[in-house]
Amino acid sequence: MAEVGLSVAAKLAEYLVHPTFQQLQRLFCVRKITRNVDIRKEELILKQGRVQELVQEAINRTERIDDEVNKWKNDVKSLIAEVEKLEEGLKANHGCLRGWCPTWKRYCLCKKLAKTAQRMIDLNTKSDCFSSFSHPVIIPDIDYHSPQNFKLFNSTQKAFDQLCEALRDDGSSIIGLWGMGGSGKTTLVKEVGKKAKELQIFDRVVLTTISQSPNVRKIQGEIADTLGLKLSEESEIGRAKRIALRLQSGERILIILDDVWAMLDLEDIGILTGGNHQRSCKVVLTTRRLEVCNLMECQKMIQLHLLKEDEAWTLFQTHARVDDVAKEVVVHEIAMECKGLPIAIVAMGTCLRGKGVDEMNVALCRLRNAKPNNVDKGVRDAFACLELSSDYLATPKAKLLLLMCAMFPEDHGIVVEDLLRYGVGLGLCKDADSFETARSQVRATINYLIDSSFLMRFWKFNMYTQEYVTMHDVVRDFALWKASEEDRTIMVNCTKELNKLITDEAIKDCYAVSSWYHNNELFQFPSHLDAPKLEFLLLRSIKPLDISHTSFEGTKGLKALIIMCKYEARVELQPQSIQWLSNLQTLRLQYWDLHDISFVLSLTRLEILDLQGSKFERMPNGIEKLNKLKLLDLSSCTIDECCYEAIGRCLELEELYVSKHFPHSKNANCYQYLADPAALMKLRRYKLEIGEHGIGFASQNEEDARSLHLGQLNISILGARIKDLAQRATVIKFYELKRGSKIFMPDIAQVVGGTNELTKLHLERCSEIECITNETTLHEDAVVPRLDELVLRDMDNLKQLHRGPSPFSLFQKLKRLSIFNCPQLLYIYPADCNLGNLKFLNISSCPMLTSLFPVSTACTLLSLENLQIEGCSELMHVLEGEGGGDAWENSRVPE
């Protein structure tokens, strides 16, 4: 019995004493519990930060974060908030005798806090067990194209309803929407597609533009992109089969073919309709001609009518914004003269905004009496409105720029910089006193044309380096018609060989010809061009062009000649016959193997020479005699000899772009050719590489107007011209800087003469430099007032960014900091430094780095979005006190 009693007593102790001991722990070991919770919280916060970095990387790759990860993030956020609330409660309830005599409330709070520790451990562990983190997202379909301010009038409501009904009808696999150009077909089908997806009639809605000259490969690519399909096949038929398989995947897919002009074989693209396919895939096409609907065997053909009078007036007022009763009558009549055509209404409304009564009366009179000929009646009404709108364009520059945009194919993304370079050749900016002024004039005119509804921003292919615009089909048709009416015929050839056009004498009276013939056969350039009125000739070829025996005798009026090859094809071009074009002002020969370019010396009126991506032997002696040459572009050229000796004598150059031109090691000697203070003294824009280039060029951004990449530069014998260019540069990259100083600023900056314009600084393999700035930088605003990007790579002896006490505004403008492979780096930011604008911090392979931010600096990190750290094995703290000890112990980075 005694043994039984002992057993019962032991069991009672297990159930009673141990829990009691835990309760006593919570009463009298608060500090130990809170310390444990603090450690677990900091571990979880660090893990939260690492997960957020992965999340941001996935977002940057346009991937979608898995629901499991998002739930984990929300759970962590809630738990941390709960812990912090409990900690605040403990601080507010100290208990009696300064905490030595706990209260019941303090006990309850401590009990809850202790339970959060295990929950934090569980969440920390769970983050390592995600089945997947993110997955690729198919690019947006119709939502990307959908109009933002769509207004459905009664006249368009009928077509809208008919389209929606046809999409629900299983018996209709191909639906045609037809109506005149500019009537709003594209806008309507975009809205219908958006509605069909909202109503879940279709899972995916794909839109692609066909145009007058269909490019099957481009159409296939646009469809594949929207469906998340990778096309690896080389042949069009192979790609078509791949698309057909995707369309049979079980998803309900609507394909919108916009702007169809002629019969189109859908099977060539990969679209199978009818039979078993019409439930899963349907096609809506838009066209200007009912005949096309019949040829395409549309089961439903829907006409989009023009706007009625009241609808036209509403749309007109939306853009004209006339609130003067005295003008209302004449403005209403002008709106009626637009004949219900939306594009004409918008154009007229925009151009008459803010005009007086007299101007409006003149506009009305001209609309009633001046009608274009030789076009269909509906188009004639639109052209009449657009003609009047174009007459109201403020300057001849706007009219010429409009014609220039019409020289490109339909739906083409037009590079704004190209418009400047071609426009200079055609006399667009002949009143400008400099190229900088000319560039501003072109940009201002483009903005004016956009505001006047003649041009549109083109976002589809916009990159960091270029800006694009595009033109509505009807506006383009009008511009081409207007040019022919003014005896300035423009031919945009996308289908025929140039030889055939010359044989037919189709270009004899042309003002401009642009040929975009892409046949894979050898392009046979004509032996004789007879086009005395021709001022602009643009040719794009993917095969060799031999023009060595071509006579330009019949085109002496040519002012702008552009011959471009497929990117980096570098096929041979023999352009010696160009030397007879004495009126040429713009010459662009891109991506050709040119051999000898001495022929340019005879082009005495040349203002722009663009040889981007081409290969040739040398810059010819005597190039300085081209005293009208203002822009020289040798970007990505391959030249057998250093070009700066010849270029340095071109005293009138205002813009110069040279990169990667001379691959030999002796290119460091190019500096000696820029020692003369008079060399290149008129340069206003430049992107120059001299010496070895290391990794990448300092900048490819169009906004960075003055960029230098200087390799193996001996700073102690800095030439006058290089010093001047560096003073004015917005971007500088030094690669293997020699004989400079251990401190970059102010020592090297003062040798240069100041860097007040500098926004981006890249230093690579500059082994002498130990820090960027130090305490002697008393007037830092005179050194780096605008610096927003700093890149440090392979800096063997760099120990810190700043040495000594720092002013609060040091690095205040900095947005991006990247540090790669700096083995001696100990510290990054000094104490009391303001990092309020820092968004991106990337640190890699810095094995001596122990901490990131002083506590006094960390409190300014209000804009930080992306923090990437790798290869920093000694990094122990995110935050560290100014005295070298831990200011926030919980910022310790786990190994």
Is pLDDT larger for residue 401 or for residue 232?
A: 401
In this structure, what DSSP letter does residue 523 have?
A: -
pLDDT band at 27 (very low <50, low <70, confident <90, very high): very low
570 pLDDT above the threshold of 50: yes
- pLDDT of res. 858: 77
792 beta partners: 763, 819
Of 15-24, 194-203, 468-477, 484-493, the poorest mean pLDDT is in: 15-24
Token pair for residue 21? 């001991």
3-state secondary structure of 799: coil
- pLDDT of res. 337: 80
CA distance 837 to 860: 9
Contact (Cβ atoms closer than 8 angstroms) between residue 332 and residue 367:
no
Cα dihedral sign for 360, 366, 371, 372?
Answer: negative
Note the pLDDT tens digit of each residue in 493-513: 766 766 677 766 778 889 999
* 813: Cα separation from own chain's centroid: 23
Q: Give the H or E element holding residue 514.
A: strand 510-515
Contact (Cβ atoms closer than 8 angstroms) between residue 460 and residue 413:
yes
- pLDDT of res. 625: 92
319 pLDDT above the threshold of 70: yes
893 pLDDT above the threshold of 60: no
What is the 3 state secondary structure string of 630-662?
Answer: CEEEECCCEECCCCHHHHCCCCCCCEEEECCCC
**pTM beyond 0.75:** no
Contact (Cβ atoms closer than 8 angstroms) between residue 798 and residue 774:
no
On average, the pLDDT of the chain sits at 80
CA distance 370 to 487: 18
* 788: Cα separation from own chain's centroid: 19
Return the number of other C-beta atoms located less than 10 Å from residue 265's C-beta. Answer: 11
- pLDDT of res. 724: 86
Angle at 379 between CA 375 and CA 380, to 5 degrees: 65
Token pair for residue 272? 């199978």
- pLDDT of res. 174: 94
CA distance 476 to 407: 9
**Which candidate, 270, 272, 269, 289, places its Cα nearest to that of 281?**
272
Burial 455-481 (b: 16+ CB within 10 A, else e): beebeeeeeeeebbbbbbbbbbbbbbb
Please list, in sequence order, all residues whose beta carbon lies within 8 angstroms of the beta carbon of residue 595, skipping any fewer than 6 positions away: 572, 574, 616, 617
Place of tokens 């090297």: 748
- pLDDT of res. 100: 45
Determine whether 642 is exposed, middle or buried from the number of CB atoms within 10 Å of its CB (0-12, 13-18, 19+).
buried
**Which candidate, 341, 382, 349, places its Cα nearest to that of 153?**
341
- pLDDT of res. 530: 82
CA distance 359 to 366: 11
Rounded mean pLDDT, 670-682: 82
- pLDDT of res. 101: 45
pLDDT band at 307 (very low <50, low <70, confident <90, very high): confident
Note the pLDDT tens digit of each residue in 817-869: 999 999 999 888 877 788 888 999 999 999 999 888 888 777 788 888 888 99
**What are the CA-CA distances from residue 869 to residues 840, 849, 852 (Å)?**
11, 11, 10
- pLDDT of res. 409: 86
- pLDDT of res. 20: 41
Note the pLDDT tens digit of each residue in 111-145: 777 788 888 888 888 888 876 777 766 666 665 55
Contact (Cβ atoms closer than 8 angstroms) between residue 172 and residue 301:
no
5 pLDDT above the threshold of 70: no
Cα dihedral sign for 441, 442, 446, 449?
Answer: positive
Q: Give the H or E element holding residue 71.
A: helix 67-92
Note the pLDDT tens digit of each residue in 713-725: 888 777 778 888 8
- pLDDT of res. 561: 94
- pLDDT of res. 22: 44
Token pair for residue 487? 């005896």
Token pair for residue 657? 């772009």
Furthest C-alpha separation in the chain: 128
540 pLDDT above the threshold of 70: yes
pLDDT band at 369 (very low <50, low <70, confident <90, very high): low
CA distance 561 to 488: 17
Q: Strands, E, within 52-188: which ranges?
A: 63-65, 134-136, 174-178
In this structure, what DSSP letter does residue 307 have?
A: P
- pLDDT of res. 375: 60
Summary count for the chain: helices (H), strands (E): 26, 36
CA distance 182 to 225: 27
pLDDT band at 373 (very low <50, low <70, confident <90, very high): low
pLDDT band at 18 (very low <50, low <70, confident <90, very high): very low
* 471: Cα separation from own chain's centroid: 19
Note the pLDDT tens digit of each residue in 654-673: 999 998 666 554 455 688 88
Amino acid identity, position 853: F
CA atoms in the 13 A half-sphere facing the CB of 759: 9
End-to-end CA distance of the chain: 57
734 pLDDT above the threshold of 80: yes
79 pLDDT above the threshold of 70: yes
pLDDT band at 257 (very low <50, low <70, confident <90, very high): very high
Amino acid identity, position 176: G
Note the pLDDT tens digit of each residue in 159-206: 999 999 999 988 889 999 988 778 888 889 999 998 888 888 998 899
CA distance 705 to 715: 23
Of 21-30, 506-515, 609-618, the poorest mean pLDDT is in: 21-30
Place of tokens 């009241």: 310
CA atoms in the 13 A half-sphere facing the CB of 143: 7
Contact (Cβ atoms closer than 8 angstroms) between residue 728 and residue 704:
no
Note the pLDDT tens digit of each residue in 781-829: 445 678 889 999 999 999 988 877 766 566 788 899 999 999 999 888 8
CA distance 403 to 419: 11
Token pair for residue 27? 């009463």
- pLDDT of res. 273: 78
Rounded mean pLDDT, 221-233: 87
Amino acid identity, position 850: T
In this structure, what DSSP letter does residue 13 have?
A: I
- pLDDT of res. 833: 80
CA distance 207 to 284: 9
CA distance 130 to 142: 33
Rounded mean pLDDT, 587-614: 92
